A and B are shown apart, each in its own frame.
Chain A
Amino acid sequence: EVQLVESGGGLVQPGGSLRLSCAASGFTFSDYTMHWLRQTPGKGLECVSAINPTGATTFYTNSVKGRFSISRDNSKNTLYLQMGSLRPEDMAIYYCARLSSGSWFDCWGQGTLVTVSS
């Protein structure tokens, strides 16, 4: 069974840091581009960051450039999102998702909640 399981969310103060992890199983992780997305009641669903199968190419939405860093460890079948200089507007449910061969999000994790508050 294809599965993605996020972890690492929690409460952090503004300006703080957090690292999210996404453990993949049931498929050949190293074959797929992976994404982090987030969801809030106000802004809805948003693509945050992406990384190609080798980790050589990454993308970020403008609002997180310079603050977030996506990475992966194909030997551990794990995707990461290092988040720094966190702001209240970064508060959201964060999902990792697999990009299908047709470039759609065909598998999602259950999400992990990030709360940014003092």
Chain B
Amino acid sequence: EVVLTQSPATLSLSPGERATLSCRTSQSVSNYLAWYQQKPGQAPRLLIYDASNRATGIPARFSGSGSGTDFTLTMSSLEPEDFAVYYCQHRTGWPWTFGQGTKVEI
């Protein structure tokens, strides 16, 4: 099973600041990695797929990069609605697994 480790666990920032979130995998997942956003009481929402492609309707301030075992989600300038928990997920071999999440808080 591929283990995904996200860091930091919590990121405390202000609106307008840049956020950089990390996801490391225990073995190479090529570019088969996605990022999801989850707000309290809601289901996760797909942000980024295949490491660097924005999902439909996702603003350009969200970007993803990386391949192999090291991946990054960047939010160029935080908006108030971006404060949430972010998860990475791979899909190379069953079971697909998620990271434990990074909480971006004000």
Q: In chain B between 53 and 102, which residues have their CB closer than 8 angstroms to a CB of chain A?
A: 55-56, 87, 89, 91, 94-101
Contact A47 B50 (CB under 8 A): no
Q: Pick 29 A–B contacts, CB within 8 A, sort by A.
A: A44-B87, A44-B98, A44-B100, A44-B101, A46-B95, A47-B94, A47-B95, A59-B94, A61-B95, A95-B44, A97-B43, A102-B50, A103-B91, A104-B34, A104-B50, A104-B55, A104-B89, A105-B34, A105-B36, A105-B46, A106-B46, A106-B55, A106-B56, A108-B43, A108-B44, A108-B45, A110-B42, A110-B43, A111-B43
Which residues of chain A are within 8 angstroms of B56 by Cβ–Cβ distance? 106
Which residues of chain A are within 8 angstroms of B87 by Cβ–Cβ distance? 44-45
Contact B46 A47 (CB under 8 A): no
Which residues of chain B are within 8 angstroms of A110 by Cβ–Cβ distance? 42-43
Interface size class of A (residues with CB under 8 A): 10 to 19
Known: A104-B91, A108-B43. A45 touches B49 (CB 8 A): no
Q: A110 vs B42: C-alpha distance in the bound complex, in angstroms?
A: 6
- A: residues with CB less than 8 A from B are 44-47, 59, 61-62, 95, 97, 100, 102-106, 108-111
Which residues of chain B are within 8 angstroms of A47 by Cβ–Cβ distance? 94-97
Q: A76 vs B70: C-alpha distance in the bound complex, in angstroms?
A: 42
Which residues of chain A are within 8 angstroms of B89 by Cβ–Cβ distance? 45, 104-105
Q: A58 vs B91: C-alpha distance in the bound complex, in angstroms?
A: 16
Task: Name B43's closest neighbour in chain A (CB-CB).
Answer: A108
Which residues of chain B are within 8 angstroms of A103 by Cβ–Cβ distance? 91
